Structure 1
């Protein structure tokens, strides 16, 4: 299997999943030595050619090599040859592995956001989001996106109403707009649902590879 086909396999697994290991809730990071919930980590496997690829869905066959979901941790794992030590084999971790993780996580998040829109879980637009957060359905809001390139005053207004709701700034207005079928979107709120839970987990992982970091609790 070539490096290109290995990357494509990782992308398919990230987007669509499959069968694989599910035992346990926590894993030890091979870069930092810390034990964390699996939701805060990324599983890697070595492909048939020995190239390390991210398995975002945790479904690819093979021994899982777990790393904290941050650019720094993945970079450390590559630099310190932690993948080879953990695998006890000659495996190759490409220098741009953190960039690959970021691209796959971005694709995964935006695909989930589009699915959430189709399921009727998304409210977009400053006025509509503000009204939702101020209305009787406010308790159902589980996640709010504010465009990373959006105005700070708009963020403050929404944040003031989104108390206790995770507020993430990991996508641009154009990226949010493309996922939601619009030219651009600065604010988007999602009500509770299985897709929202998955998106929150993936967006928090993606935040470890971008700046600024997620806000909220």
Structure 2
């Protein structure tokens, strides 16, 4: 059980302070950490765990720096254990959090999958964004991007996401061979997009999908 400690001043107000860079930012751009059993540093991805928290900018490089520089000990003002594997563990947790949000959006009826159904959804006009498998071909994504521009004009702004492999999308959506999907407008889709933005922010540039694979970008071309 996590220790019950009153939140510090750094956890009040609209911004949080990164213990590595000392810069301030909104909670959505940060990763919160608390101290768990055995004084182990625990990432609080949903930012809901009890106890005093410290914050690090949502970047794998910053988390690795926090571990290396023992910034967690200074932040918690006590000796704590921060694993060298913590940066990779957080990336896995953020990925799982995104896929869980995608599954919730699917259950809410805000996801359609398959090239043809995605094209139909674009024609219908209630599109919040597109999802493409990172290991899928670029041609289909390019054609759907063209469909977006034809439907909404050159100034259309719709997120296009290619942060997950096809097998990950299959599990999240409960169907096989998912390469393309559309997010329909709704709160569940917006929650998924918010989680994707944080995951993209967290991943090092070297590990992000190539531009041709879209990554997470706004469709404004």
Residue in structure 1 matched with residue 153 of structure 2 by the alignment = none
**What is the aligned counterpart of 2:118 among 129, 134, 137?**
129
Q: Number of aligned residue pairs: give it.
A: 197
RMSD over aligned CA atoms reads: 2.1
The structural deviation recorded for 1:24 is 2.7
For the residues of structure 2 that align with 1:206 and 1:167, how far apart are their CA atoms? 14
CA offset digits 1:29-71 (Å, max 9, x no partner): 1222222221121111111321111101111111111112121
State the SS of the aligned residue for 2:145: helix
- Residues 189-208 of structure 1: pairs in structure 2 closer than 5 A: 189-207=182-200, 208=202
Q: Which runs of 4+ in 1 moved over 6 A?
A: none
State the SS of the aligned residue for 1:42: strand
CA offset digits 1:185-211 (Å, max 9, x no partner): 111111222221221111222222251
Residue in structure 1 matched with residue 178 of structure 2 by the alignment = 185
Residue in structure 2 matched with residue 48 of structure 1 by the alignment = 37
Is residue 2:148 matched to residue 1:146? no
State the SS of the aligned residue for 2:37: coil
For the residues of structure 1 that align with 2:161 and 2:67, how far apart are their CA atoms? 28
Judged with a 3 Å threshold, the aligned counterparts in structure 2 of structure 1 residues 53 and 161 are, in CA distance, closer, same or farther, namely farther
Is residue 2:163 matched to residue 1:170? yes
The structural deviation recorded for 1:23 is 4.0
Tell me, which stretches of 5 or more residues in structure 2 are unaligned? 149-155, 210-214
Question: TM-score, normalization: structure 1?
Answer: 0.83
Is residue 2:146 matched to residue 1:160? yes
Tell me, which stretches of 5 or more residues in structure 1 are unaligned? 7-19
Q: Which has the larger radius of gyration?
A: 2
For the residues of structure 1 that align with 2:27 and 2:145, how far apart are their CA atoms? 28
Q: Which moved more, 1:155-164 or 1:29-38?
A: 155-164
The structural deviation recorded for 1:160 is 3.1
The structural deviation recorded for 1:159 is 2.6
